[in-house]
Structure 1
């Protein structure tokens, strides 16, 4: 009988982007770029709003100065002038890379930057589809200004950190944050997260990456209320699990390493497709075993623990079965951990894996079905690149140029003979079956192909009748 055995999330990594930055990605996909005057006007308008706020405060302060108080009047003007100079310098050299738990409000800079970016993206755009995507995105980032986007990403990171203590935390953990001097995981900025003073995760952000990244390991996952985190983040359009570890702890050792190896021999870790790789490791000491005075023999004592690995990190799916208790230092402990590490490189990891770890762990391999009567299987995705006609022609010219030259020079074939050789066997030249599978064509080109096919079918019908 199948039981619903409790499992837990032991590692979790997430990425997401503010919706304004998602718009930048969409613009880059269609080849759009922002005109320079729009960027200049948006930045000037944003600075003007800042200065107008200072002017309003100055006028209010002047009304409160006593009559004929020249020093008080001069002091207000000096403060106003200093504030204008500082905010202009800060605006032109915008830096916003530190987050703190001391305040629960978002920086006014982040709010101003959000409005500023929206004005830029709502302006008149130019489109140039001839430029590659990477060049388009770099052009947009350069024109808009990465510092501006850093402000938005930092605001998102600060919002998440503030929620750790007030929304996401399980029981009574106290979260603190410490900024790092450098970024992590290719993000420009980062900070370490601590739960009750113990390192529990890391958060990173940056405008160049167009978003934020947060990762929790071990204690960090224990300190989170996963159900609450799931409810809060599930409606974020760009949220994505990049890694999740699902673990089952068998404290009684009922399903030991020997049982796991038995499952492997029975095909319990074969889910169809390419056979999974494996690795078995045991470590310990060589103990002397004296059979007689003349013969001495040593035997292996795996008193440091045994581990079985199925899959690989490269494929994005790795199962570890290891003697956790022994590895923790107790040679008599029977504790065995079954732990699945999933990455998003070749699969889309559903968000509800955070709240249904037992179901998704049970669905990973047939051998794990004992964990839950409900099994959710995460299928591997194969990404097929779509290519334009020009790109396909370019690739084929490169790959067949030498063959065609050989047919001309060594085989003394004419151009017509070479073409006939390549096209022999093509039955329906206008059908999709005889076009490259990765071909990405426009609607008009597809309509043309459909029309040609209809004409051919009509002509064949006339000939047969």
Structure 2
């Protein structure tokens, strides 16, 4: 029994920061269209927009006619009032339709707004229309063309509805205990999104939510207090099946209140290579801060001994001038690489000069890795796998692999590279080996069994170029 308990040992850890992004289903389809180089015809978009506007104007007209039927035929004031209300409503709806904005986020509405419902149906009708080829080369240009064609304001309305539903579910589904979640709209966007709102849990800043059609979705970020106020297992169950969901950042932390795994011990482990997880050596930074106060040394000598780690007044006085009573921090890695480990004296940071509280915290970003959603509910297993020095947290570990990106290349670029790399070898085969050109070509191609197969082409060759070549060969045959 003891061995089994030891094998499954896991020290509790927490999620201290969490950032997520996702897109509505319709916007996922737009991204897919941009990927394959498709674009909506202007006539299709215009027809759908006009149809949607006329539908709303016809509803107003029906309401006007109904009121006129029941009004006194000889009461001209009532008749004129109904006509004026109708004209004003038509002007207002047309103006709102052409300059559609939906940037005010509410935490009270549980149902979809009328604007979002109409926007969703309108966008679906657009995506059913005729397509044409977008000649833009880059994906970003094709996506911007699509967004501009459809109308960013329409997509803003859709994304705001997604953000609104998430805030509503915070209060009714995701919240822990009795927290009350509120939002306050910001005058500007954040994190490159057009609109944003600050999230509060019981009146305390808990995070931020951003949205915008230009970014094709919603971004939400919880820090510290926000993560502690969320029921993370319930949140995980609710969002795990969203196809476009992406974890862009997660901070996993372990609090050592006894100080057993101190910063000094971390330095010792660093010298033993326990912060090397393969690949290039990690960068580091060591920071300490404190006071230079002789008065404090004389008045509070016992505490100064504990802080400095010296055992006698003489040795303590020799080291006086560098008393790190504000704490020591060791950084391993960097934000640029997507993985940053902070080991710092949390208690001293909060003002307790004699505290032994040390926090080990890893900040992970999705720039060079895909962060699994499971990290929300298994913080110990994922934190333990980041570096060998943290293996004490859990015997069961879940490692996140780094993504190695390979750039695609054109035919011209591949030929240029291969000419540079192989010209000397070919010259050697000609000069020293006496091989003819046909023999040299045969030597290079003899093991290729299917010349027309994709596997027989360079891996980094752009796929559209290869597909176009296949179509040309088929047409020629």
Q: Same fold (TM over 0.5)?
A: yes
Change (3 A) 1:376 1:315: same
CA distance in 2, matches of 1:57, 1:146: 31
User: Conserved in 2, the CA contact under 8 Å of 1:428 and 1:434?
Assistant: no
For the pair 1:302 / 2:308, whether they are aligned, the reply is: no
Moved more, 147-156 or 99-108: 99-108
Structure 2 counterpart of 1:337: 359
TM-score normalised to structure 2 length: 0.82
TM superposition shift of 1:76: 2.5
Moved more, 17-26 or 74-83: 74-83
For residues 11-55 of structure 1, the C-alpha deviation after alignment (integer angstroms, 9 at most, x for no partner) is 011111111111111111111111110010010011011112222
1:324 to 343, 346, 353: 346
Q: Residues 231-270 of structure 1 correspond to what in structure 2 (within 5 A)?
A: 231-270=237-276
For the pair 1:215 / 2:205, whether they are aligned, the reply is: no
User: Conserved in 2, the CA contact under 8 Å of 1:287 and 1:300?
Assistant: no
Moved more, 433-442 or 158-167: 433-442
1:426 to 444, 447, 471: 444
CA distance in 2, matches of 1:373, 1:62: 78
User: Conserved in 2, the CA contact under 8 Å of 1:287 and 1:301?
Assistant: no
For the pair 1:53 / 2:59, whether they are aligned, the reply is: yes
Structure 1 counterpart of 2:370: 348
For the pair 1:31 / 2:49, whether they are aligned, the reply is: no
User: Conserved in 2, the CA contact under 8 Å of 1:5 and 1:358?
Assistant: yes
Q: Secondary structure at the match of 2:362?
A: strand
Q: Residues 274-293 of structure 1 correspond to what in structure 2 (within 5 A)?
A: 274-286=280-292
For residues 200-235 of structure 1, the C-alpha deviation after alignment (integer angstroms, 9 at most, x for no partner) is 111111111111111111111111111121111111
Q: Secondary structure at the match of 1:105?
A: coil
TM superposition shift of 1:248: 1.0
Q: Secondary structure at the match of 2:325?
A: coil
Change (3 A) 1:394 1:386: closer
Q: How many residues align?
A: 435
Change (3 A) 1:296 1:232: closer
User: Conserved in 1, the CA contact under 8 Å of 2:21 and 2:219?
Assistant: yes
Q: Which runs of 5+ in 2 are unaligned?
A: 1-5, 298-312, 424-434
Q: Secondary structure at the match of 2:268?
A: helix
Structure 2 counterpart of 1:407: none
For residues 164-212 of structure 1, the C-alpha deviation after alignment (integer angstroms, 9 at most, x for no partner) is 2122211111112111111111111111111122111111111111111
TM superposition shift of 1:106: 2.4
Change (3 A) 1:249 1:443: same
Structure 1 counterpart of 2:460: 438
Change (3 A) 1:196 1:93: same
For the pair 1:393 / 2:415, whether they are aligned, the reply is: no
Structure 1 counterpart of 2:174: 168
Structure 2 counterpart of 1:100: 106
Q: Which runs of 5+ in 1 are unaligned?
A: 405-416, 450-465
User: Conserved in 1, the CA contact under 8 Å of 2:180 and 2:202?
Assistant: yes
Change (3 A) 1:444 1:67: closer
Change (3 A) 1:57 1:367: same
Structure 1 counterpart of 2:200: 194
CA distance in 1, matches of 2:458, 2:25: 35
Change (3 A) 1:296 1:38: closer
Structure 1 counterpart of 2:429: none
TM superposition shift of 1:355: 1.3
Change (3 A) 1:250 1:63: farther
CA distance in 2, matches of 1:5, 1:446: 56
Change (3 A) 1:297 1:112: closer
User: Conserved in 2, the CA contact under 8 Å of 1:14 and 1:213?
Assistant: yes
Structure 2 counterpart of 1:153: 159
TM-score normalised to structure 1 length: 0.84
CA distance in 1, matches of 2:225, 2:61: 50
Structure 1 counterpart of 2:402: 380
Change (3 A) 1:260 1:297: closer
